[in-house]
Amino acid sequence: MFVTFNTAFSYLVLVVLAMLPHWAAAAPTVGEPAPDFTATDSEGNTQKLSDQRGSVVVLEWTNHQCPFVEKHYQTGNMQALQKDATSQDVVWWSVISSAPGKQGHVSPDQANELTASRDAAPSAVLLDSEGAIGQLYGARTTPHMYVIDPEGTLVYMGGIDDKPSTQKADVETANNYVRTALNAVQQGQAVDPATTQPYGCSVKY
Amino acid sequence: MKRYTGLIRIGGLPCKTPSPDHSAVFVCGQRHRSWLGSVLLFTLWLILFGFSSVTLANPVATPHVRAQLISEATAVQANQSFWVALHLNMRDGWHTYWRNPGDSGLATTIEWKLPAGFVASDIYWPYPEAIAMGPLVNYGYHGDVYLLVQLTPPATLKNREKLTLTADADWLVCEENCIPEQATLTLTLPVTSDAPRLDDRWKTGFIEARQALPKPNPWQASFSLTSDQLTLTLDALNFPSERLKKARFFPKQDGIIENAAAQTLTISDDQISLATTRGAQRNVPLSRLQGVLVLQEDLTGTTATQALEIDASATTAAANTPPTPFGYALILALLGGMVLNLMPCVFPVLSVKVLHFAHQAHNAPTAVRWHGVVFTTGVLVSFALIAGLLLLLRAGGAQIGWGFQLQSPFFVTTLAYLLFILGLSLSGALTLGARLMDLGSGWATRSDYMGTFATGGLATLVATPCTAPFMGTALGYALTQPWPTALAVFQALGFGFALPYLVLSFKPSLLRFLPKPGPWMARFKEFLAFPLYATAAWLIWVLSQQTGPTGVAVALTGLILIALAIWLLGTTAAVSRRWRLLGRLSAVAALISALALAQLPQAITPDSLPQTAMSNPKAGDWELFSPQRLAELRAGNQPVFVNFTAAWCITCLVNERVALSSPRVKAGLAEAGITYLKADWTNHDPAITTMLASFGRSGVPLYVLYPPAQQGTEPIVLPQILTESLVLKAIKSLENTDPS
């Protein structure tokens, strides 16, 4: 058998390439770069995460029909958080990953209507009906919150606060993790806690 | 969407309406306009419900759940704990949640409003099921669930007092969408001074509830971590792998594991392990793993689901050393591979090849380079093959490590044979013309890539016994990883192994650091045979550990046969064709006999009995079973209880813990004068096998209660899953038929 240099070398290269699968995308981890993505928002614009470098980005998975999301919107808690954040140049993206026909799925017009009627203040509402962004981030519940620093590193992921319930009264007394994370990032400090248990309805993929 | 949050009061009884859903149902009645109407209604209630201990607010039906608070006993005794349960009966297709709800959801909570001095325990959760919701997984219950709570009254309670226990239960019930619901349940119980009677209505419910509670784990549990894998290990000796159908670990805390990830079950000689992917908290150090392990065990004619309480600590290695990152493991593997070249198994084979370089380097430098590449490829492919085989076997359920070949006496013997043959060829007793044995000087000038490729493979094969002591960390890491990572580490090992050779083939100038060829080469080659003989001797020693002196004798005979075969080949090489053929045939015959002999050590097993995992009994609790002892006892008209068990039978161990070791059962057996015999079938004792067969059983557990022989009644066979009451009932039935 005549073995050419090319064949032998390509064998070697193939074998080295076998090592590469390990470096494929892993689950998002705090302290590591947040996975990049491109999405379409309710206004029809394209939004790309890496374009937001230089700003803090908050991702809020939502489903307007979920009692846990209602708890935060009907008390005005989420809107207040959004307004406080955006007034400090934080990019706030509400993400809807509900599949068509499932609870929480909305058309772009419906999404805009909801934003207006609830007096919400996100920078954009991303429509992810394929669930790709949700799966990329391992979003499990609505609400599920992620905070990304200006360098693109994920600094917080988990629940919105420490009182997992549907009781509206709990909003007042809860420790809001998103607010804590945003304050820490503004002051250049480490976010603590960086990962918490998210609570809510399941994302309707 | 309107939400009704008001309270309706009727006749002094408050009640809350359920949640923000259009299908909200009022469960406490309607407001009436006239006082006459109220009086009439109140009278009606008195007639219908007045004298029972159950008020209107129990059970409560919400749109998707029927909730009821039940008490095991009909009354409360001062200072005596008693059990109550929140029974949730969910609509078909709907579920509620476990203490850790999983990817989403909310665990059921109970807030108690109890009379002064009462203490309520936390909920005792039955084991959950994994409920898939698309790509997410939740932990919860379908159908019926009983959440047990233990209540302890104070030491002073007035007799004839009526106690009102109120539970504010909150839960999330989901089908695909979720509805939070709540109910306030009230239970009124009288106080009694004697031991209260059990409530017959809920007897089955409480038995079912207790059976579904996780039991203490009979085995030592530990866990190990890598950067993204968690492996839970139970030290369970000789567990037969076909006995365990399914296993799933439910963690108490969120973020420890990926709830939706697969859990790989591996059963080996002394361990059961479950490996899965770590969750969002993978960067947080973990020293204690708590949760529930649910196992489905195959019994005779049925399957039993057992839930074990897990409270495991990290194995020392994982606790003290940080998880090995991938890059670090690769470097270690590379270095380890390079070190492999110095091992006595490998060095002789390769050094001869390197010496031939000295010849070739000046004549055909390009060819040498190709040889280097081909050799490297040969090594990498062989490492990949062995790694692939290892991973396949690991996936198939055998817990093995690198050097797994060494656990098989047959492999050890054949490897000893191989090294012996190589040693003989280096000593000059054999000139191998076969392409695979690239050790004769005839190879020096042949540019045969096939031969070089094969040398790579051979080098890998002889290297494997020497690997374990030096590559521990990298291999330990590789074996816990998903297969691409594991393969990558093995390839790094192979690359390191081939690297010096590759470097030399590209930079033959480095060869000048090697001594010039000369007559010393022949002597060196002959000397190199001795490390090979030493390795063969070491392998025979390994064989002696595995199979004892008989195995050693067999292997040595095999070596003699090989020497004979080689001599036959040598003597007949230069004579007439007929003799040559005869020589070859006899050599082949000798070789085949040697290989056949190599099979024998496999059948010899050491005498030591594996330890049983059962708890040590107190003296007098039970006796070891033997057919003679049973016959003796029966001849003496004694009732006997025989427990057929095995250390690897989960249901047996759980039954022993839960039913047979309970003080009441022990007392019951003692009072009735029943001798308790334990038949340990861990090593498949043939006498016990025969007894099992006589009851139509092929396996354990089996529980037989023999009444006194004079009664003439048949032995009572108990079910495979025991409860305390079941055993006590069986013991009692003997009393009833006892003529004395």
Rank B189-193, B401-405, B565-569, B684-688 by mean pLDDT and report only the highest: B189-193
Tell me what pLDDT residue B467 has. Answer: 54
Q: Is B540 helix (H, G, I), strand (E, B) or coil?
A: helix
Between residues B456 and B498, the one the model is more confident about: B498
Query: Per the CB < 8 Å rule, is B488 touching A141?
Result: no
Locate tokens 């070859």: which residue?
B584
Give B528-539 pLDDT, tens digit per residue: 778 778 878 887
Q: Does B327 touch chain A (CB under 8 A)?
A: no
Contact B637, B709 (CB under 8 A): yes
Exposure string for B604-624, b = 16+ CB within 10 A, e = fewer: eeeeeeeebbbeeeeeeebee
Please list every residue in chain A whose beta carbon sits closer than 8 Å to the beta carbon of residue B487: 18-19
The CA distance from B511 to B446, in Å, is: 20
Q: CB–CB of A11 and B377 under 8 A?
A: yes
pLDDT exceeds cutoff 50 at B6? no
Any idea which of A197-201, B50-54, B165-169, B626-630 has the lowest mean pLDDT?
B50-54
Put simply, the chain B residues between 594 and 633 with a CB less than 8 A from any chain A CB are: none
Q: Calculate the average pLDDT of chain B.
A: 78
Residue of chain B nearest A141, judged by CA positions: B104
3-state secondary structure of A107: coil
Q: How many CB atoms lie within 10 A of CB B302?
A: 11
Predicted local confidence at residue B38, as pLDDT: 63
Q: State yes or no: pLDDT of B397 exceeds 80.
A: no
- Rounded to an integer, the average pLDDT of B113-133 is 94
Interval B478-502 mean pLDDT:
80
pLDDT at res. A146: 97
| Interface mutation target, options A157, A166, A191, A192, chain B, most CBs of B under 10 Å | A166
On the 0-12 / 13-18 / 19+ scale of CB atoms within 10 A, B118 is middle
* pLDDT at residue B23 greater than cutoff 50: no
- Give strand ranges (E) for B418-522: none
Question: Confidence class of residue B74 from pLDDT cuts 50, 70 and 90?
Answer: very high
CA-based nearest residue to A27, from A135, A132, A114 = A135
Sort out which chain B residues have CB atoms less than 8 A from A98's CB and list them.
none
Q: Are A21 and B484 within 8 A, CB to CB?
A: yes
Give the pLDDT confidence score for residue B202 in this predicted structure.
92
- Local confidence band at B614 (pLDDT 50, 70, 90 cut-offs): very low
Q: Based on the number of CB atoms within 10 Å of its own CB, is B191 exposed (0-12), middle (13-18) or buried (19 or more)?
A: middle
Q: What is the mean pLDDT of residues B706-733?
A: 88
Chain B hits for A165, Cβ within 8 Å: 106, 170, 180
Determine the pLDDT at residue B361.
57
pLDDT value of position A111: 96
Q: Model confidence at B474, in pLDDT bands (50, 70, 90)?
A: low
Among chain A residues, the shortest Cα distance to B489 is held by: A19
Residue of chain A whose alpha carbon sits nearest to that of B254: A197
Per CB distance under 8 Å, which residues of A are interface residues toward B?
1-3, 5, 8-9, 11-12, 15-16, 18-19, 21-22, 26-27, 29-31, 65-67, 70, 102-103, 131, 135, 138, 140-141, 157-158, 164-166, 195, 197-205
Pick from B176, B374, B487: which is nearest to A18 by CB? Answer: B487
Q: For residues B429-454, give the mean pLDDT.
A: 52
Query: What pLDDT is stored for residue B337 in this prediction?
Result: 79
Q: Report the residue of chain B nearest A10, measured CA to CA.
A: B377
Helix (H, G, I), strand (E, B) or coil at B131: strand
Which residue of A9, A66, A205 is in closest CB contact with B135? A205
Residue with the bigger pLDDT between B52 and B373: it is B373
| Touching A: B residues 273-292, CB under 8 Å | 280-284
| Neighbouring-strand partners of residue B86 | B69, B147
CA distance A89 to chain B (A): 28
Q: Is the pLDDT of residue B258 over 50?
A: yes
B200-237 residue pLDDT tens:
999 889 988 998 999 988 888 999 888 888 999 998 77
Q: Choosing among B100, B109, B254, B450, which should be mutated to test the A contact, i.e. which has the most A CBs within 10 A?
A: B254
Asked if the model's pLDDT at residue B34 lies above 70, the reply is no
Lowest average pLDDT, out of B265-269, B451-455, B687-691, goes to B451-455
ipTM value: 0.82
User: In chain A, which residues have their Cβ closer than 8 Å to the Cβ of B283?
Assistant: 29-31, 195
Record the pTM: 0.60
Is residue B14 predicted with pLDDT exceeding 80? no
pLDDT band at B514 (very low <50, low <70, confident <90, very high): low
Maximum average pLDDT range among B238-252, B511-525, B664-678 = B664-678
Interface contact B134-A1, CB threshold 8 A:
no
- Region B343-347: mean pLDDT is 62
Q: How far apart are CA B293 and CA B151, in angstroms?
A: 27
C-alpha span between B390 and B372 (Å, rounded): 27
Where chain A has pLDDT below 70, the residues are 1-26
The model's pLDDT over B260-281, given as tens digits with 9 standing for 90+, comes to 999 999 888 778 889 999 998 8
Beta carbons within 8 Å of B271's beta carbon, 6+ residues apart? B233, B234, B235, B236, B399
Shortest Cα distance, chain A CAs vs residue B102, angstroms: 9
pLDDT at B378: 87
Closest partner residue to B488 (CB to CB) among A19, A31, A198 is A19
pLDDT on residue B102: 94
**Lowest mean per-residue pLDDT among A174-188, B31-45, B243-257:** B31-45
More confident site: B36 or B119: B119
**Nearest-angstrom CA–CA distance, B600 and B561:** 15
Q: Tell me the residues of chain B between 117 and 146 that have a Cβ less than 8 Å away from chain A.
A: 133-136, 138
Q: Smallest CA–CA separation between A200 and chain B, in Å?
A: 6
Please compute the mean of the pLDDT values over residues B456-468 and round it to a whole number: 66
Q: Residue A3: which of B282, B326, B374 has the nearest Cβ?
A: B374
- Tell me the average pLDDT across B287-306: 89
Q: pLDDT tier at B452 (50, 70, 90 boundaries)?
A: confident
Nearest beta carbon to residue A22 from set B134, B176, B484:
B484
Q: What was the pLDDT predicted at B362? A: 57
First to last CA, chain B: 75
Asked if residue B396 has pLDDT above 70, the reply is: no
Per-residue model confidence as pLDDT tens digits over B149-193: 999 998 888 776 789 999 999 999 999 899 999 999 999 999 988
Number of CB pairs < 8 Å for A and B?
Answer: 117
